[in-house]
A = this chain, B = another copy of it.
Amino acid sequence: MQDTSHNLNNKRIAILSPVAWRTPPRAYGAWETVASNITEGLVARGWKNVTLFATKDSITNARLIGWIEKGYEEDKSQVPPVSTCLHISKMMEMAGEFDLIHNNFDYLPLTYLRLIKTPMLTTIHGFSEPDILRVYHEHKDSYYVSISDSDRDPGLPYLATVYNGIDLSNLTFREKTGGKLVHYGRIHNDKGTHLAIEIAKKCGMDLIIAGIIQDQKYFDELIRPHLNQSSIQYVGPVNQAQRDALLEEAYAVIHLNLIPERFGLVMAESMAAGVPVIAMDLGSCREVIADKQTGFLVKSVDEAVEAVGKIDQIDRKKCRKRVEENFTIDKMVENYEKVYAEIFRREAQKK
């Protein structure tokens, strides 16, 4: 066993991150965050040959290789598909130097797969459009991981679900309850920011909203008219330190997503800080939240208002513990190690 593990740690792993943002991102950038966490987690667990393929300004304890100076979301002179195909193809040209490619950058890398010999694991962080399934279905002989049991395409052979892990060092657990409702993440109809406002008003509680505005029209029409300097505030995007301060003020995090959540980093982060989450029972929410233990799964604004009244029943230590046991970077990487081992076992059988 020791020997196998030792050999596994020596395998040459390429982690392919997106190039929309720096890895790790300065603020928003969910896939880059996960790619960074996997990379740093592997290094922390003793993997010796890990290479991160990301923008050239990325930061890592692994080897960094990149061709794109900055994320295309941070440098609007770039045409995103151009940066994307250059980044991916130049990584593929180096495929022979690796034992495994771990793709965190959507469907395009799969289209190079039959031209290289290195096996590839794709973590499907999301199906941006149903039509991208055409590419996945064309490559059913490849390896896939889902980020929740709920976010699976029935036509694809998955090796496992590996939940995203979060960096607990940036999330201070506090037993003391804050006094406000908090809603943060992307400001978009999908995330139900307008429902958080409705809930705060019905409860007569203050609400702090944070995050990048992903749909300006939605923000201008449904959010901005409700903002003021006191009870309903929007504070813009938050970095990790600001997020920690934000969660200190939180009585509960309101997360009434209107489309199925794929994983839900916000929920895990909130619980890590000891903050219960009231979430719509859609998609992966019931996998992340333990209903009535670390928050409440609801089906409507009224149920959410009712749940706010029951927040004092939640033991904040249980919130933190659920994350420590299921959603840490170390746990995620441990699970990926099992997946990698399974891929190497299957690849060895092919030979």
Residues of A within 8 A of B (CB): 77-79, 81-83, 85-86, 88-90, 92-93, 107-108, 111-112, 114-116, 129, 131-132, 134-135, 138
Look across to chain B and name the residue whose beta carbon is closest to the beta carbon of A92: B115
Q: Which of B77, B115, B134 makes the CB contact (< 8 A) with A115?
A: B115
CA distance A85 to B77 in the complex (A): 23
Q: Are B78 and A135 in contact (CB under 8 A)?
A: no
Cross-chain contact A85 with B116 (CB below 8 angstroms)? no
Complex: how many Å from CA A78 to CA B135? 12
A89: contacting residue among B79, B86, B111, CB under 8 A: B111
Question: What 8 A-B pairs are tightest by C-beta distance, nearest first?
Answer: A89-B111, A115-B115, A79-B131, A85-B111, A93-B114, A79-B129, A82-B131, A82-B132
A107 contacts which chain B residues (CB < 8 A)? Answer: 82, 85
7 contacts between A and B (CB under 8 A): A79-B131, A82-B132, A82-B135, A86-B134, A86-B138, A90-B138, A115-B115
A55 CB, min distance to chain B CBs, angstroms: 14
Instruction: Point out the residues of chain B lying under 8 angstroms from A115, CB to CB.
Output: 92-93, 112, 115-116
Taking CB atoms, residues of chain B closer than 8 Å to A112 are 89, 112, 115
In the assembled complex, which residues on chain B have CB atoms less than 8 Å from the CB atom of A132? 79, 82
- Kindly provide the distance from the CB of A109 to the nearest chain B CB, expressed in whole angstroms: 10
Within the complex, what minimum Cβ distance (angstroms) separates A131 from chain B?
4
Report how far A131 CA is from B68 CA in the complex, Å: 13
